[in-house]
Structure 1
């Protein structure tokens, strides 16, 4: 059996996101390290007490989401099968490198903090992201051309995330609704990730990646790149792609296809939220797909793994 681990991106942070992972002894070092990046504040306390708006600020958001993925993988380590495919959505791709063993997990946390700072510095004021589902790619490209926007993420089933200036996205949203898009909603992200509007951020983040010594991949693990869904076969070129995805389109539909082509027999999203597992279930209904948020205990998640992705 081969398990596809999906590392979530920003947008689904919530007060209970660390209920399962926050007290796992194996993950304690990750929460301690994350606190050093958050002004000494315990991330478990932050998600319980901060407003939703505060949890979606770019830097804190990237740290919290990466922490959840790394903590979940660490807490479930003994339950994971020998064969893994790992893919990450947006900032989740940095976490995926940590889960796959190619980055030290504390290094991954440091890197996402730097990534957020680099992106914030490069981002034009007022930029953001918009989700649109139910229009063709040709229609989406036309909307982007008319409103100086760009496709940031390609999801399965004619679903797209679009990046641009906030005012322009508002006008694009109105036009998408007039074209009878099935769903149009702003994404709670403060930068136009994965578009050329962050072109200056990619080389700066590549410099940060170059200062960290890569690790050795976990045996039996395949890591996928977000910009094309291809396996990372060479660390240097993989790091090039990891930096490039800040300002290039993420092809998430290709990543899910890459999981299936690699032999995935089940999907587990590490969270926060079930967005990626729901996409996987919709695109590949014959393959079991769950999010860690679906379970009430780590033991429940381990039991599901034992059934659908045994060691």
Structure 2
């Protein structure tokens, strides 16, 4: 049996996101590293006390989400089987490289901070993302072309994340609502995964040139690339795709299909939030899929893994 590990992107941050991982001794060094990147603010205090929107700002959000994935992987290292298949949604793809052992965890946090800085430097004021459900890929593409937006992420079940300037997104949303689509404004301040961030992809690729990558990973994990859902087959090709992902459409539906084709029999989302595990449950209701946020203790996560994966 094979476990698929899903690393979340931004949007699901909340005050209790470190409830299970915050006191795990295996993750203490990661919280210390993230504290330095957050200007000396302890991440656990940061999420509980932040009220001015910084929780969802691009740089802090990317650091926090990546920290949660890395901390969860460290705390559950004794229970997670080797040779897992790992996929990450948006910035979660960088976290997936850390969880899978391609990058050291501390390096992963630093890289994510520099990724966010490159994106912020290349972003246009007022840019953002919206979620659209209920229209076909063709209809969504035509709305984007009409109003100057772009498809940022393709999710299963006629669900899309669109990126662009706020005026363009508002126009798309108005037309989509008239077509009876569901629209949600996302708490993200950049047009991630669109050509508006092409410069950030170039800068981030230079950042990645100095990264030490352990390929193939000693864990035997299979890491999927976000822009096509294909396994990372070499360090250089994987890094090219990881940088390109900032300004290219993320094919998340393909990533989930890639997990299934790799033999996944259970899905564990490391959080924060439940969005990815709920996507899995929506398309494959017979497969067990849970998020760390569903549990009250790490022991509960371990028991669930043992029940659905058996002895690995």
TM range (shorter): over 0.9
For residues 101-135 of structure 1, give each alpha carbon's deviation from its aligned partner in whole angstroms, at most 9, with x where no partner exists.
Answer: 00010000001100000000001111000100000
Residue of structure 1 in register with 2:184 after alignment = 185
2:211 aligned with 1:212:
yes
Structure 1 position 218, deviation (Å): 3.4
- Aligned mates of 2:309, 2:118 — CA distance in 1: 38
**TM-score scaled by length of structure 1:** 0.98
Number of residues of Structure 1 aligned to a counterpart in Structure 2: 310
- Aligned mates of 1:162, 1:112 — CA distance in 2: 22
Runs of 4+ in 1 over 2 A off after TM superposition: none
Structure 1 position 82, deviation (Å): 2.6
Residue of structure 2 in register with 1:138 after alignment = 138
- Aligned mates of 1:87, 1:219 — CA distance in 2: 15
Residue of structure 1 in register with 2:102 after alignment = 102
Structure 1 position 59, deviation (Å): 0.4
Residue of structure 2 in register with 1:10 after alignment = 10
8 A Cα contact 2:194 2:246, kept in partner: yes
Residue of structure 2 in register with 1:38 after alignment = 38
- Aligned mates of 2:11, 2:84 — CA distance in 1: 25
Residue of structure 2 in register with 1:200 after alignment = 199
3-state DSSP of counterpart to 1:78: coil
2:17 aligned with 1:24:
no
3-state DSSP of counterpart to 1:163: strand
3-state DSSP of counterpart to 1:132: strand
Residue of structure 2 in register with 1:244 after alignment = 244
Aligned-pair RMSD on alpha carbons? 0.8
3-state DSSP of counterpart to 1:215: coil
Residue of structure 2 in register with 1:285 after alignment = 285
Structure 1 position 53, deviation (Å): 1.8
8 A Cα contact 1:68 1:271, kept in partner: yes
3-state DSSP of counterpart to 1:194: coil
- Aligned mates of 1:52, 1:80 — CA distance in 2: 36
2:267 aligned with 1:267:
yes
Residue of structure 1 in register with 2:55 after alignment = 55
3-state DSSP of counterpart to 1:225: coil
- Aligned mates of 2:152, 2:253 — CA distance in 1: 12
Structure 1 position 52, deviation (Å): 6.6
**TM-score scaled by length of structure 2:** 0.98
- Aligned mates of 2:82, 2:225 — CA distance in 1: 21
For residues 220-256 of structure 1, give each alpha carbon's deviation from its aligned partner in whole angstroms, at most 9, with x where no partner exists.
Answer: 3100000000000101100000000000000000000
Which blocks of at least 5 consecutive residues in structure 1 are unaligned? Answer: none
Instruction: Report 1:84-95 matches (<5 A).
Output: 84-95=84-95
